[in-house]
Amino acid sequence: MKNFLKLTLSFLLVLQISQSFSHDLKGAIASEDRTPKNVQRDPFRNPYETLSFFGIESDMTVIELSPGGGWYTEILANYIHYPGTLIAAHFNADSDRAYYRRSRANFEEKISNNPMYGRVEIVDLDSSLADPETVDAVLTFRNLHNWLGPQMDGIFSNTYEALKPGGVFGVVEHRAKPGTSMDIMKKSGYVTEQLAIEIAKKHGFELVAKSEVNSNPKDTADHPRGVWTLPPNLGLKEVDRDKYLEIGESDRMTLLFRKPTKS
């Protein structure tokens, strides 16, 4: 009986903490828990419109692929609460690349220092991500260019396996001009819609819809240092800084895929 009471109290405590740090979507975006420099990117990244387009609900099990420093994680962690779970698929902590290990360690430190991340789990990006057919939605933001080649096939395949039938896969990526070669895509950080859709369909996904919510007609996608020329990186430092600030962040495709339901 005592063990039962302890378990019940633990459950209620977790539930209370979860509810304390959860909001509706607009509240999550407006939360003071967000990093001020991240909030400054909202006009370019349109989180409310983007997550609404993807149909993300607060009680879903969601995987965020390669969350980097956690720009979207801050919003999703505020938004998703019990019985939902946010799974952050980050770089492998044992990677041979020092940058990957540092990035993973920094992310782990970030989420360990705030109870708001109580519904966040971390897995390796190169893992199976989750048990088969247990996930409602998988999201990735500005990452496809990092995966071009066999890695993308592996990630898309694992995403498909983790999703429930009818589950959604939301993709935001820097958009290359039609006909851009693979070599230029790798160098520039821009990926064509055609390639993204082809690979998704190759792994069994169906394209549900496209959105222009993250488009930027000012972006010509032909900058000296590729997409990293634009903010927030500003890869040329002070060279033509005002010009690139005026352009803003990259032109982006926003694609919604779905894992077909079983017949």
72 domain-assigned: yes
Task: Compute the C-alpha angle 146/148/150, nearest 5°.
Answer: 120
Q: What CATH number does residue 19 fall under?
A: 3.40.50.150
214 domain-assigned: yes
pLDDT, position 23: 75
Chain mean pLDDT for the chain: 93
Q: Determine what percent of the chain is predicted with pLDDT higher than 90.
A: 90
75, burial (CB in 10 Å: exposed 0-12, middle 13-18, buried 19+)? buried
168 domain-assigned: yes
Output the pTM of the full model.
0.91
Would you say residue 94 has pLDDT above 80?
Answer: yes
How many domains, in total, are found in the chain?
1
62 domain-assigned: yes
263 domain-assigned: no
54 domain-assigned: yes
Digit-coded pLDDT (tens) for 99-152: 999 999 999 999 998 999 999 999 999 999 999 999 999 999 999 999 999 999
243 domain-assigned: yes
Q: Which of 2-11, 52-61, 177-186 comes out lowest in average pLDDT?
A: 2-11
Question: In this structure, how many other beta carbons lie within 10 angstroms of the beta carbon of residue 184?
Answer: 17
Tokens 């993250």 found at: 214
Q: Which of 62, 85, 227, 202 is nearest to 142 (CA)?
A: 227
Would you say residue 191 has pLDDT above 50?
Answer: yes
Would you say residue 60 has pLDDT above 70?
Answer: yes
Strand partners, 253: 173
Digit-coded pLDDT (tens) for 5-30: 444 444 444 444 444 445 799 999 99
HSE-up of residue 230 (Cα within 13 Å, Cβ side): 22
Q: How far apart are CA 18 and CA 179, in angstroms?
A: 47
Task: Compute the C-alpha angle 92/96/100, nearest 5°.
Answer: 50
Question: In this structure, how many other beta carbons lie within 10 angstroms of the beta carbon of residue 252?
Answer: 26
Tokens 């819809």 found at: 209
Domain that holds residue 155: 2-258
